[in-house]
Amino acid sequence: MHIAILGATGRVGRRVLALALADGHEVTALVRDPNNIERQPDNLTLIQGDACQAADLLATVSRADTVISCLSTGGAEVLSTATPLLVGAMGQAGVRRVVTVGTAGILQSREHPALLRYETPDTRRSSTRAAEEHRRAWEALAASGLRWTVVCPTYLPEGEPQNLFRAERDYLPDGGTSITTGDTAAFTYRAALDDAWAGCRVGLAY
């Protein structure tokens, strides 16, 4: 399988990249600085560019069977800019499957089913900017016609996979408070290899 990866130098993305390369997949990764990728085996192609540039995205996904995006909000409107461009590039390239990493804030609230978790009156977020960015990205994917999945981890400390996490469609598993970057990457990578979680947000937590 040929996998295109965005955000391959981030906390989750670098782990997804390592898993894909270890399994022998052909990988194309879009990066701002290739020097941030220490290991560059023969099955890795690096595209130096910007996820907010349509031409760079098309070059990255043009030969892919599936796309994994671990882009963060980047302190700006990176996701809401890049996601529609990614949808367009995938359409041009004829690629249908995409898995992205979001946030648990855009899952449905159990206590207020008509609201997303970040919109509830009892949210403890000092700012909803990042959640709103993730929401716009999710909405663009949901309207795209692609086979999409948004992986939505809760509090995300650095850590190795424990392989004991819970996953739930559109909701955060009840009582879940954290999930490591290692387990988030492992789930994201596996989700990209099939369609089992296509068409939904997936809440991840221990």
Q: Tens of pLDDT along 124-178?
A: 766 799 999 999 999 999 999 999 999 999 999 999 999 999 999 999 999 999 9
pLDDT at 126: 64
Q: Which pLDDT value is given to residue 127?
A: 77
CATH number of the domain at 19, please.
3.40.50.720
- List b or e across 52-86, with b for residues whose CB sees 16 or more CB atoms inside 10 angstroms: beeebbbbbbbebbbbbbbbbbbeeebbbbbbbbb
> Based on the structure, what is the number of domains in the chain?
1
* Domain region containing 111: 2-205
Q: Report the C-alpha gap between 43 and 26 in whole angstroms.
A: 5
Q: How far apart are CA 85 and CA 41, in angstroms?
A: 28
User: CA 34, CA 47: separation in Å to the nearest integer?
Assistant: 8
- From CA 139, how far away is CA 148, in angstroms rounded? 11
The 3-state DSSP class for residue 62 equals coil
Q: What is the pTM of this model?
A: 0.96
Q: Which of 62, 90, 63, 45 shows the shortest CA–CA distance to 2?
A: 63
184 within 8 A of 153, measured Cβ to Cβ = yes
Q: Is residue 20 pLDDT above 70, yes or no?
A: yes
